[in-house]
């Protein structure tokens, strides 16, 4: 295996980790409007991800940085061609971070509701747009011989990409509902479990259509195996929810995310951005990669620092592992 293949695998792992962690993060943000009945319950939901949401975004920064360093042509074509949706995602992530930090600065009803509404929309939009972006990457876009994207913004909103966005939106919301059931106590926990089962059924329908479509378009034996794992994991998560086993349900909903995203990367390889104009114009792990020396240096740095980051994030989740409920929310904070 060449170093450019290794770095394609590592970037896939980074994106999988990001969607696993930020997936339930976005889901909880969406549930502040779908599940919470009052300010205290919205506070409970926000507190379940309060200690970890910023750490989850480190995976996105690392994935973007690794793509820039390991596959500069991929990075350049992706960010120039997908400029508008990626800009919307970036603005959402900025506003979302500000909303988490500023919501509790004042106790006024209007102040807090405005920031809560911001959390909802800046969770929903990226959850949808990431699916649109990755569906287009896998499906292929108009790339010319100079490795430039020559399509329009509206070309990105094709039926396959929109379905991909709906899948990630439903899957992340389902993942967030399972996480909420795992992290809360009382009535909100029970309602989260019921809502998770309903969302799981919707996700199953959307995901099955999308993944089968992907398999028919670009799939092979490995992507088919990932598809089967994703389907079985989702069914297992629903069964675990019915049995009241939130821990197993969360692991299996997470496995669903992992397998679904892995299937996209398995379907993509060895391309990194297929061209719909001419297969010869496609960006691949070979023609889009950095020099061997750059990849070798990156490998050494990653081997040193990656375990440190993983250990620190695991420690954070362990420290904040306990369940919370409305009884833990001081009355004056609402």
CA angle 262–57–180, rounded 5-degree value:
80
Q: In the predicted model, what is the mean pLDDT of residues 291-313?
A: 85
Q: Which of 54, 245, 63, 257 lies closest to 172 in space, CA to CA?
A: 257
pTM over 0.85: yes
Neighbours of 153 (CB within 10 A): 11
Q: How many residues are there in the chain?
A: 334
pLDDT digits (tens, 9 = 90+) for 5-27: 899 999 999 999 999 999 999 99
Local confidence band at 104 (pLDDT 50, 70, 90 cut-offs): confident
User: Does 107 have pLDDT greater than 80?
Assistant: no
**Distance separating alpha carbons of residues 83 and 138, to the nearest angstrom:** 17
pLDDT at 334: 42
CATH of the domain at 99: 1.20.1630.10
Give how many domains the chain has, as a whole number.
1
User: Which residues are bridge partners to 283 per DSSP?
Assistant: 273
CA angle 270–274–275, rounded 5-degree value:
145
pLDDT at 333: 46
Q: Which long-range contacts (CB under 8 A, 24 or more apart) does 37-43 make?
A: 39/109, 39/112, 39/334, 40/326, 40/329, 40/334, 41/188, 41/326, 42/116, 43/329, 43/333, 43/334
pLDDT digits (tens, 9 = 90+) for 114-152: 999 999 999 999 999 999 999 999 998 999 988 888 888
pLDDT digits (tens, 9 = 90+) for 171-216: 999 999 999 999 998 899 999 999 999 999 999 999 999 999 999 8
Domain extent at residue 204:
3-333
Distance set, CA 6 to CA 2, 3, 28 (Å): 6, 5, 33
Specify whether the backbone of 244 is left (phi greater than 0), alpha (psi in -120 to 50) or beta. left
User: Does 331 have pLDDT greater than 70?
Assistant: no
């Amino acid at each position: 295996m060449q170093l450019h293949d290794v770095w394609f695998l590592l970037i896939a792992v980074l994106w999988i980790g990001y969607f696993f962690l930020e997936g339930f993060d976005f889901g909880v943000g969406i549930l502040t409007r779908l599940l919470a009945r009052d300010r205290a319950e919205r506070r409970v939901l926000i507190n379940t991800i309060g200690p970890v949401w910023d750490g989850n975004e480190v995976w996105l920064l690392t994935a973007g940085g690794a793509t820039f360093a390991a596959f500069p042509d991929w990075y350049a074509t992706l960010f120039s061609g997908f400029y508008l949706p990626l800009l919307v995602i970036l603005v959402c992530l900025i506003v979302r971070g500000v909303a988490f930090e500023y919501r509790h600065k004042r106790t006024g009803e209007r102040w807090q509701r405005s920031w809560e509404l911001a959390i909802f929309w800046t969770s929903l939009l990226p959850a949808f747009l990431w699916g649109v972006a990755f569906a287009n990457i896998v499906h292929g876009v108009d790339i010319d011989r100079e490795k430039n994207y020559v399509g329009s913004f509206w070309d990105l909103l094709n039926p396959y990409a929109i379905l991909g966005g709906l899948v990630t939106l439903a899957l992340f919301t389902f993942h967030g509902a399972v996480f909420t059931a795992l992290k809360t106590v009382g009535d909100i926990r029970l309602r989260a479990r019921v809502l998770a089962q309903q969302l799981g059924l919707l996700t199953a329908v959307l995901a099955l259509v999308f993944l089968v479509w992907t398999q028919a378009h670009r799939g092979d034996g490995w992507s088919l195996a990932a598809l089967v794992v994703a389907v079985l994991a989702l069914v297992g998560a629903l069964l675990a929810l019915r049995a009241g086993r939130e821990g197993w349900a969360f692991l299996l909903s997470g496995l669903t995310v992992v397998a679904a995203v892995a299937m996209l990367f398995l379907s993509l390889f060895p391309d990194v951005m297929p061209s719909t104009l001419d297969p010869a114009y496609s960006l691949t792990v070979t023609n889009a990669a950095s020099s061997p020396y750059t990849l070798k240096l990156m490998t050494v740095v990653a081997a040193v620092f990656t375990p440190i980051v993983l250990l620190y994030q695991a420690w954070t989740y362990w420290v904040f592992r306990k369940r919370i409920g409305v009884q833990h929310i001081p009355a004056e904070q609402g």
